[in-house]
Structure 1
Amino acid sequence: MPQHDNFHWLGERRDYRATWAAMRRYTARRTSETPDAYWALTHPPVFTQGLAGRPEHLLNPGHIPVIPTDRGGQVTYHGPGQLMLYTLVDLKRAGLGPRDWVNRLEQAVIDWMGERGVAAERRPDAPGVYVDGAKIAALGLKIRQGRCYHGLSFNIDMDLTPFARINPCGYEGLAVTDARRLLGDTPSLPSIARELTAVLAS
């Protein structure tokens, strides 16, 4: 299990490239004693293209920038009102494999929604969390020498229209939703991030 709860709310509309570079630096400088870290934030509108990303899944990005990145997976959208929870975790030290961590990330969101009366689920063929077939959370990881970065994007209260400019996560016509549409009022993004981190770091 992760040993440390080192939570940081980094704020709204943090630049994607700068955050990505900071995650890489943190991971490259880690030692066996470096505490795990959980960085929560939002990004300005941006499409990110994972290592498996194929250009045909970018339908009409328009004015929104497209950034190739080193996480797994295909293309997705990040923007205001979407909680990014980046998990800089030493999986090897924790005795966890990549699939274990994916399952834990998914389960944290499933349980959070379930506590509020909404049945969410994972899909065996497509990582992430879904409600009635609509994706509410996506995830992508990079693991280097047993140490993970990138993490989870959780749609809380956002403009979902940019998802129509792509095939989300490589799936044509995949429906997306957010917590606000399902729950009405939602807690603040920092509050949600702290709740998820408390589960993940326990």
Structure 2
Amino acid sequence: MTIAADQGPPIPPLLRPLGRVPYEPTVDAMKAFTAGRGPETPDEIWIVEHPPVFTQGLAGKSEHLLDAGDVPVVQTNRGGQVTYHGPGQVVAYPLVDLRRQGIYVKEFVFRLEDAVLRTLADFDVTGHRVPGAPGIYVKLADPFGHAALGNDRPASDPFQGLGKIAALGVKVSNHCTYHGVALNVAMDLQPFERINPCGYAGLKTVALATLGVVADWATVADVLGRHLGARFTR
């Protein structure tokens, strides 16, 4: 659902490719940017890669972190449960003024997911939404097929036959967003076996590389950044 927004020439968000940066200082920078922005501050999209880290969202439960080992665990203020960030994963942080965009949080999340779906499609992968489980999933047996999931998935296992390729967690402060979405490109997926990803025990995590897609981090980061920019041009 959208709300009234001022009309004018299209203004894309500023895309900032920041490379590999540590998680906690990046979150602090997003908080500072959001706290200091005004009505005319341009929206930005930060594209980053993080060193290995487990992050626990506001609703996070300790039982979903099975074995952190030598990977640091950071409590953070985004929504959702525990997830993992590491090299080979594109993380996008849209810093968006929802009032100026004329949208509510539900639409913001929809557009984030839509950008990921379009990015995957550019690499011939079909992504899917699962109701009630933010993020994007692929069919393990046929990640390149175009058939829809359908509405008859078993309630006891809504992730049957699926792997999660993108995780989503956001924070909204004074109608402005930060945190965002993480898309697995070519990374060590073993740390995901040490958590219940996003709070779902046994949920398999995949990356473009495990699906057989050959694409480097920079290429995927550029494609995702462009799709996100198009979704939030005002």
TM range (shorter): over 0.9
The aligned residue for residue 226 of structure 2 is 195
Residue 130 (structure 2) aligned to one of 107, 123, 129? 123
Alignment of 1:142-181 (within 5 A): 142-181=171-210
How far 1:186 sits from its partner (Å)?
Answer: 1.2
Query: What secondary structure, in the 3-state scheme, does the structure 1 residue paired with 2:204 have?
Result: coil
The aligned residue for residue 18 of structure 1 is 25
Is 2:63 the counterpart of 1:62? no
How far 1:199 sits from its partner (Å)?
Answer: 2.6
Is 2:91 the counterpart of 1:91? no
Q: Distance in 2 between matches of 1:163 and 1:180?
A: 15
How far 1:59 sits from its partner (Å)?
Answer: 0.3
Residue 107 (structure 1) aligned to one of 108, 114, 124? 114
Match for 1:87: what amino acid?
P
Asked if the contact 1:105–1:152 (Cα under 8 Å) also holds between the matched residues in 2, the reply is yes
Q: Distance in 2 between matches of 1:101 and 1:183?
A: 30
Match for 2:32: what amino acid?
R
Q: CA RMSD in A?
A: 1.5
Match for 2:228: what amino acid?
T
Query: What secondary structure, in the 3-state scheme, does the structure 1 residue paired with 2:182 have?
Result: strand
Q: Distance in 1 between matches of 2:214 and 2:47?
A: 20
Match for 2:189: what amino acid?
L
The aligned residue for residue 154 of structure 2 is none
Residue 41 (structure 1) aligned to one of 35, 48, 53? 48
Q: Distance in 1 between matches of 2:72 and 2:186?
A: 21
Compared with structure 1, are the counterparts of its residues 198 and 147 closer, same or farther at alpha carbon in structure 2 (3 Å cutoff)?
Answer: closer
Is 2:96 the counterpart of 1:51? no
Match for 1:104: what amino acid?
R
Q: Distance in 2 between matches of 1:4 and 1:115?
A: 21
**What TM-score do you get using the length of structure 2 for normalisation?**
0.82
Q: Percent identity?
A: 46
**What TM-score do you get using the length of structure 1 for normalisation?**
0.94
The aligned residue for residue 139 of structure 1 is 168
How far 1:198 sits from its partner (Å)?
Answer: 3.1
The aligned residue for residue 72 of structure 1 is 79
How far 1:3 sits from its partner (Å)?
Answer: 3.7
Asked if the contact 1:59–1:167 (Cα under 8 Å) also holds between the matched residues in 2, the reply is yes
Residue 32 (structure 1) aligned to one of 22, 39, 42? 39
Higher gyration radius (CA): 2
Query: What secondary structure, in the 3-state scheme, does the structure 2 residue paired with 1:4 have?
Result: coil
Aligned residues: 201
